[in-house]
Structure 1
Amino acid sequence: MSHKNPPAPAEFEPEFVTGLKQIFEERIVFNQVLGLKITSLLPERVLARIDMRPELVGHYAYNRIHGGVISAGLDAMGGLAVMAAIGARHMDEAPEQRLHRFAKLGTIDLRIDYLRPGIGSHFELSAEVLRLGSRVASTRMEFRGPDGKLLSAGSGAYIVS
């Protein structure tokens, strides 16, 4: 007899979404500096947006976004995807109890491939968890321009316990 995990819920309860957005967009102050805003939060995939502003320019002649903004944004998204996956795995707990599980989350490996120059009015970021283990989670992230074209791709590993 196979003992499979129950399927992840299609959506989180509003209290969990509100709490996770507050942690990600307000308590992690560096995400405010980046202007990172969550646009979709599902157990299997998270989406966010960064609007271009003068403070994010890395190359003044081309109004190109700084590579560090891309890297930091994708790293944050990988962490958010892990938070969502952990939240989905522990649906038997109250939302507030699940939100406390993220205290030990941290990046242990990050790789970014810069494929095209980051030029545009805004950027869409996405991330998904490839594997959620008891100690380490592996993720894949994407950074896209306003036209949906893939500009950068990343992969990360995060300590979860």
Structure 2
Amino acid sequence: MTKSTTTHPSPPVVFEDEFIAGLTDLFENKIVFNKVLGLKLTLLSPERVRARIDMRHELVGHYSYNRVHGGVVSAALDALAGLAVMAAIGARHMDETPAQRLHRFAKLGTIDLRVDYLRPAIGAYFELQAEVLRLGSRVASTRMEFFGADGKLLSTGAGAYIVS
């Protein structure tokens, strides 16, 4: 006779309002370059983060087409992937207070970033999302996507981040 074992899934991680407010303030206000880009969070969860950028004249890379500069796309994807790593780290350390978890992000930095530009970024606004594929003790791997207002995929990215 074999013994049957039942594994019970862990309850989903739910971030406290204090942690969400702290990460949002860090991302949208304290990292000043994100403010210059106009990044605004629309979703913050342990599994995925999303943001939006409204088109502005300052973001134009090609004046004839009113196309977003490729550097804006790559910087926004990089920033959002970093936030996804922060969220994943925050979810891993739920035994700590929100303030302790927010303090963990001082050492976070980009190791490698790859962006594939699939279509010109032309539109009234853009939506981005990022997720962590693997969170190790020293390095995190991410995947990112940059969409037009019509939902078309304009760019993809992959990044590696130092977490310790």
Answer yes or no: same fold by TM over 0.5. yes
Q: Aligned letter for 2:141? A: S
Question: For residues 53-132 of structure 1, what are the structure 2 equivalents within 5 Å?
Answer: 53-132=56-135
Please name the residue that 1:138 is paired with: 141
C-alpha distance in structure 1 between counterparts of 2:123 and 2:37, whole Å: 15
Q: By how many angstroms is 1:9 displaced?
A: 3.1
Taking the aligned partners of 1:8 and 1:40, their CA distance within structure 2 comes to 20
In structure 1, runs of 5+ residues without a counterpart are none
**Rg bigger for which structure?**
2
Unmatched 5+ residue regions in structure 2? Answer: 1-6
Name the CA distance, whole Å, in 2 between partners of 1:24 and 1:102: 11
Q: Deviations over 1:103-147 (max 9, x none)?
A: 000000000000000000000000000000000000000000001
So what's the TM-score if we normalise by structure 1? Answer: 0.95
2:38 counterpart residue number: 35
Matches within 5 A, 1:19-30: 19-30=22-33
CA distance in 1, matches of 2:133, 2:151: 22
Q: Which residue of 2 aligns with 1:47?
A: 50
- What is aligned with 1:18? 21
In 2, are the aligned partners of 1:143 and 1:153 still within 8 Å (CA)?
yes
CA distance in 1, matches of 2:75, 2:108: 15
Normalising by structure 2, we get a TM-score of 0.93
| Separation in 2, partners of 1:151, 1:8 | 35
- State whether residues 145 and 153 of structure 2, in contact with CA within 8 Å, keep that contact through their aligned partners in structure 1: yes
Paired residue type of 1:96: A
User: Which of 154, 158, 161 in structure 1 is aligned with 2:157?
Assistant: 154
Alpha-carbon deviation of 1:148? 0.7
Identity %: 77
Once residues 77 and 7 of structure 1 are traced to their aligned partners in structure 2, the CA distance between those partners, rounded to angstroms, is: 26
- How big is the shift at 1:158? 0.1
